Structure formats: structure tokens, C-alpha cells
């Protein structure tokens, strides 16, 4: 991927749209180029469906880190700590959990240097007491849309009154 690819894919992700017009407006890249590049990236499997979802590994974010975060006990601490965790670049998901761990965080990163930086960023948050990160050897499944995790019948039973 070159700079244009990255600019286009980033705009798709942050603007939440695949409209050529909107991407052009956000990036200044000519519409025809936007269209051509997206088609190409779709053909190369970097973009995995017509919705613009990307394969993190194909895009260069091939290091996935799962981190348990233990935080200090202060009334309402988790709101603040949770948001700060979410603001760290590369952090994709932040769950405030009920059990022994306060947060479970999933990050997609591109290199070991980035891992070291993210771990240091976790540490730098006030209220974070301890973190425990583990590398993902393999992402067996990661489905962008949770509705695709079910058979239609199951969903109808569960979600329709």
C-alpha cells in the first residue's frame, strides 16, 4: 500500500462511508483515483467486502494484543480510565468487565515498537495499576458485524418479540 491507499482507507473508516464523493472531499484525492484504488484494494483482499471492512493483517496491522487492565478504586474511575484507554492509538476495543480484571482491551498494531509504545501509554494513565498483555498468535475469527455470527433463525427468535 502506498500513501494514497492509506489515506483512502483511513477516510472510509473514520467517515464511515464508501461514497466516492465523501472520500474525495475528506482526502482531496480525485474521485476516479478513489474509485480505482478501492476496486483494486477489494480485488487484492485488503478490503474484504462491499462495506469497506478491511483485513487488519493485509493492511499491515498484523500484531493483535489482548490486554487485561487493573485500575485503582475510585468512585467513577472506570469512566475516566476507560475513555483514556480508548483514546490510545491502536486500541480497537475496550470492555469494562465484572470480574477480577477491570478492563479487557484489544489492539491491532503494526510492529513491536508500536507494542512497546502502547504498553507504555497504558502505564501512563492515572488510575491504571497493572496491565497484562499477551500476543495473539493467530486471529481465528474476527467478524466486523455481530449479526453475521448468527443463523437468521436464531436472530429472529432472539430479537423479534
Q: Report in angstroms how near the CB of residue 30 gets to a copy of itself at its nearest.
A: 18
Work out which of 21, 25, 31, 130 binds a copy of itself, going by CB under 8 A: 130
Q: Is 142 in the site for a copy of itself (CB under 8 A)?
A: yes
Q: Report in angstroms how near the CB of residue 10 gets to a copy of itself at its nearest.
A: 5
Write the Ramachandran bin of 45: left for phi over 0, alpha for psi from -120 to 50, otherwise beta: left
Which residues 35-94 are close enough to bind a copy of itself by CB under 8 A? Answer: 48-54, 56, 59-61, 64, 66, 70, 73-78, 82-83, 85-86, 89-94
36 vs 74, beta carbon nearer a copy of itself: 74
Q: Is 111 in the site for a copy of itself (CB under 8 A)?
A: yes
Q: Is 33 in the site for a copy of itself (CB under 8 A)?
A: no
The CA distance from 85 to 69, in Å, is 9
Q: Which residues of 86-114 are buried (b: 16+ CB within 10 A; e: fewer)?
A: eebebbeebeeeeeebbbebbbbbeeeeb
Q: What angle do CA 53, 38, 2 make, to 5 degrees?
A: 100
Amino acid at each position: 500500500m502506498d500513501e494514497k491507499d492509506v489515506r483512502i482507507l483511513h477516510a472510509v473508516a473514520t467517515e464511515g462511508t464508501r461514497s466516492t464523493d465523501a472520500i474525495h472531499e475528506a482526502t482531496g484525492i480525485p474521485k476516479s483515483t478513489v474509485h480505482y484504488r478501492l476496486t483494486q484494494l477489494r480485488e487484492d483482499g485488503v478490503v474484504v467486502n462491499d462495506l469497506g471492512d478491511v483485513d487488519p493483517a493485509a493492511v499491515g496491522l498484523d500484531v493483535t494484543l489482548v490486554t487485561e487492565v487493573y485500575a485503582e478504586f475510585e468512585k467513577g474511575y472506570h469512566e475516566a480510565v476507560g475513555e483514556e484507554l480508548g483514546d490510545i492509538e491502536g486500541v480497537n476495543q475496550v470492555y469494562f468487565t465484572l470480574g477480577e480484571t477491570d478492563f479487557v482491551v484489544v489492539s491491532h498494531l503494526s510492529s513491536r515498537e508500536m507494542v512497546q509504545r502502547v504498553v507504555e501509554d497504558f502505564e501512563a494513565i492515572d488510575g491504571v495499576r497493572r496491565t497484562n498483555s499477551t500476543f495473539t498468535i493467530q486471529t481465528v475469527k474476527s467478524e466486523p458485524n455481530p449479526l453475521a455470527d448468527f443463523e437468521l433463525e436464531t436472530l429472529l427468535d432472539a430479537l423479534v418479540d
